[in-house]
Amino acid sequence: MVEREFFVMLHGAYPKVPYAPKRGSNFVDLPNGVYDKAEGQRVLERQASTFVSLEELGFDGGVVSEQHNGPIGLLGNPMIMGAYVAAQTRSIKIGVVGPIINDYLTPVRMAEEYAALDNLSRGRLLLGLPMGHGMQYHSIGMINPATARARYREAHDLFVKALTHEGPFEWFGEYFQIPYVNLWPRPLQEAPDILILGGGSPETLELVARHRYGYQQVGAFSQAAMKKTTDRLRELCEAQGYSVSPRQIWGLVSVHVAETDAQARLEAEAHSLWNSQNFFLSPFNDNFPPGYLSQAAMRGVLGGGYRSESSEKNTFERSVDSGTLIVGSPLTVSTRLAEFLATLAPGRVLLDFGLDSKPEWLGRKTMQLFAEEVMPQLRNGGVPVSQHRKLPGYESRSEYGATRNPDSPEPVVNLGTGGLINVETSHIASERLIVEPWRA
């Protein structure tokens, strides 16, 4: 059986909002007067506790995203949730997909945040580098979409170099001019584990292939569409001179499990449509601010590609028939998910349980059924890959003592006694020994 990883998408959407078709969309300018503080706290706490529970349930990790200006998600910076989860868990991967690099004045700041969180999580950080929804460009106030792609590409290159190269080095680009890029702290992972979420644009697929990143298509209307994109990625990787790794292929699928097929539909139908009619609904001009897509990609959209059709028109049957939604008993879900896995051959599966509008108990029920009844059918022994590996960094103070570099400089100080002494032993009178002559 293939060693496969299972992740859970945690949108953290705020569900108690007006019916989106009444106003066309709840993105961008839904007045925050409808925001209830108690409800918002519940949403954030639920997102956090669900993320932490993934470890106990046996998933490999969770994924949270950066959202702005509306109920689609309440994390302006998903690193914050990542830090919380890092403190509460030991082994699961922590997916933050944001952060949106164009939201930063400098990618060096993002690299610093990434590196700090990578240390605090013991190298468990999984990073997304999204362009951000088109809708976000209307509200974040920093990015001109006309130059966003070019800025993104340069920011990406600088970000990755800052993480993976020793500093200081200079960076004089079109968008960033930095005499000394010199990252402190440095991340634990030798190379960042990067997942790119995209709508299938050729530019993004080429970037993924070139850097051997993971790729997850979003907004696809069918398994067949996802397969087509995945096949294209395989070709691009071959063109780069290597075969795509299973870990590069992500498979996103919405799932709901209940005791029987009929019960599963009863539990899932309204919530699935809530997502289509409220969560995803957004008009063309909000989706695609000027320059957000290339002309070639836009031609594809107008011909039936990413977000080319209003999500409001989606039906439960269509989602099930297209394979983007799998609903049923554990046996049904296992069978259909096995077919999905056979079609796409993803090394990493991103499961969307549509938790946002479901009562918390219902979300926990379906996730527990999936963990106990479905995942074991799809993975040897039911043990997550994340529990197999030795994490980067040290496990204990003993290991720290064994692995730290003995040649690192000691912290020293000049007390005016004719030389530098080691401050770590300065509290012991007999150890105030001059370790190096110094006259100043």
Partner 1 sequence: MADPVAEVPSWRFQRAPDRLVVDDVEVALRRDGAGETVLFLHGVGFLRQWLPFHAALTERVDLIAPEHPGFGDTPLPGGFRGFLDYVLHYDALLALLQADRLHLVGHGLGARLAAHMATVYPSRFASLTLIAPSGLRQEQEPLIDLFRMTYDALHAAQFNGREAAYADTYALKGFPQDTLDDVADAVPHALLTWTNRFDRRLERRLHRIQCPTLVIAPEQDRIGGTTAAARYAELVPGSALVTPAGPGGDPSSYAVLIEQPAEVAALVADHVDSTTKGN
| Pairing assessment for the beta strands 177-181 and 169-172 based on DSSP bridges | antiparallel
Nearest-5° Cα angle at 254, 8 to 375: 55
Among 31, 33, 303, 381, binds partner 1 (CB under 8 A): 303
Instruction: Check residue 23 for interaction with partner 1 (CB under 8 A).
Output: no
Helix axes 202-211, 145-164, angle to 10 degrees: 10
Minimum distance from residue 232 beta carbon to partner 1 (Å): 20
Region of 15-23, 101-109, 245-253, 286-294 interacting with partner 1 (CB under 8 A): 286-294
Assign 3-state DSSP to the chain and report helix, strand, coil percentages, each to 5. 45, 15, 40
209 in Cβ contact with 236 (< 8 Å): yes
Give, in order, the Cα–Cα distances in Å from 391 to each of 163, 194, 317, 383, 415: 18, 17, 43, 16, 41
Minimum distance from residue 287 beta carbon to partner 1 (Å): 11
Minimum distance from residue 295 beta carbon to partner 1 (Å): 5
Among 13, 17, 28, 362, binds partner 1 (CB under 8 A): 28
Q: What are phi and psi of 293, to 5 degrees?
A: -120, 150
Instruction: Check residue 299 for interaction with partner 1 (CB under 8 A).
Output: yes
Instruction: Check residue 295 for interaction with partner 1 (CB under 8 A).
Output: yes
Judged on CB neighbours under 10 Å (0-12, 13-18, 19+), 312 is middle
Among 80, 298, 331, 434, binds partner 1 (CB under 8 A): 298
Among 283, 376, 392, 393, binds partner 1 (CB under 8 A): 283
How many residues contact partner 1, by CB under 8 A? 23
Minimum distance from residue 309 beta carbon to partner 1 (Å): 14
Give Cα 376 to chain centroid, integer Å.
25
Q: CA nearest 315: which of 352, 265, 251? A: 265
Q: Which is nearer to partner 1, 142 or 270 (by Cβ)?
A: 142
114 to 153: interface string for partner 1, x by CB under 8 A: -----------------------xx--xxxxxxx------
Which chain residues interact with partner 1 by CB under 8 A?
28, 137-138, 141-147, 283-286, 288-291, 295, 298-299, 302-303
